[in-house]
Amino acid sequence: MDLVLWRWSTVVQLTSLLMVAGFFLVLARTSRRFEVRAWVLAWLANAIALGITAYFWLVQPARGFGWLTGGYMGFKIAFVLWLLQGAWAVGGPGSEFLSLRTIITASAAYGVVCGLFIPSIAVMGVVQHLAMGLLLLGGALALGRQWRAIAWLSTGLCLRGGLALVEAGAYWVDLNPNGAFAPDLGEQAAWLLASTSSFDAGVEWFVALGCVLAVSERAQRELALTNRYLLLAQENLRRVGDRDPLTALDNRRTLDGVFQEARPAGAAVLFFDLDGFKQVNDLYGHAVGDACLVRFANAIRESFRPGDAMMRYGGDEFLVVAPGMERAKALARVDALRDRLDREPEPRVGFSCGVADLAAGGSPDAALQAADRAMYEIKRRT
């Protein structure tokens, strides 16, 4: 009966593992992530190990126990190492758990040593499951602060590691049948070992689910981060688009937003136009003309408050919207601006300025047109 249960349990687990391995092979074709490739190798190694087990229990070969033992234990430990490799990568510590060469070398060496020195199935069970349990539990704990990011997978690793230690204990009971343990415990251990592959299959499906959820959660985090970067880039592009590249003042694209903020409390609207700017370009060249525009923009910044909106309206026209500023104070700042520019070297930067009041709740367009008319009236008289 035990042999029949061993065979049935092993075939069930092998069928389950082939399904899991096939799923990860398909997943690897759509996702080139490192952890997915690691898990493909892990589940393939596990399927090969169970294939060796199935061959042993179905065929019952008279020879080759050492080869079968070494192959089974080598592929089984490779499964654990590749599983941890993927968990480490998806958890994001920033480095590989083990290198490819280390995993292959360690698995091969472990399989060779076990194949040479393991004398029986019971000893193999104690050594193999003890090694698996300690590696899985230790690897899950080594994830540390990354545990939350892959909670399902971390829990699955702990469950699989705990089950492996229980199986190691059952093999230890089976290894000492002559009165060392109570008869009931021996019978329970024998039943557990005969059906162990079924338990392994259930827990390993939980681990596989944890792998899928870990990949999904990491992909979601990366998409959220990418979306945040895109939003920041969009905001930076918007700011660049709203900025005059020569003077570094805002351009007229920001005017609607400025007026929306200033309209509830009212503001002083000042419209500037440089005097004789065409002659500056004709006499000194466009490079000097651009320098005059920059000088004027810098002078505006120094003459008005940091909270006032200052922009290059177009060409040699500039606009200041000063929330809550009275006309008299606005005119005083215009005089200070003119004095500042008069003290600068040639070519002199002169300007005409029209001032209008934007009443609280008033029409921004009307205030802008009034400031524009006032500026042209002053320019006409000078």
Yes or no: say if 126 and 172 are a contact pair by the CB < 8 Å rule.
yes
For residue range 330-363, list pLDDT tens digits in order. Answer: 999 999 999 999 888 888 889 999 999 999 999 9
* Domain 2-230 superfamily per CATH: Rhodopsin 7-helix transmembrane proteins (1.20.1070.10)
Full DSSP string of 83-101: HHHHHHHHH--SS-SS-HH
pLDDT at 148: 64
pLDDT above 60 for 179: no
Confidence class for position 142, pLDDT limits 50, 70, 90: confident
Mean pLDDT (whole number) for 120-141: 91
Eight-state DSSP code of residue 243: B
Please give the pLDDT value at position 133: 94
pLDDT band at 1 (very low <50, low <70, confident <90, very high): very low
Q: 323 near 265, Cβ under 8 Å?
A: yes
Residue 183's pLDDT band, with cuts at 50, 70 and 90, is low
The confidence score (pLDDT) of residue 262 equals 92
CATH 3.30.70.270 intervals, the chain: 250-381
Beta-bridge partner residues of 269 = 321, 356
Lowest mean pLDDT among 93-102, 115-124, 335-344: 93-102
Look up the pTM and report it: 0.62
- What span, in angstroms and rounded, lies between the C-alpha atoms of 86 and 325? 64
How would DSSP label each residue in 165-190? HHHHHHHHHHH--SSSS-HHHHHHHH
Residues of each domain in the chain carrying CATH 1.20.1070.10:
2-230
CATH of domain 250-381: 3.30.70.270
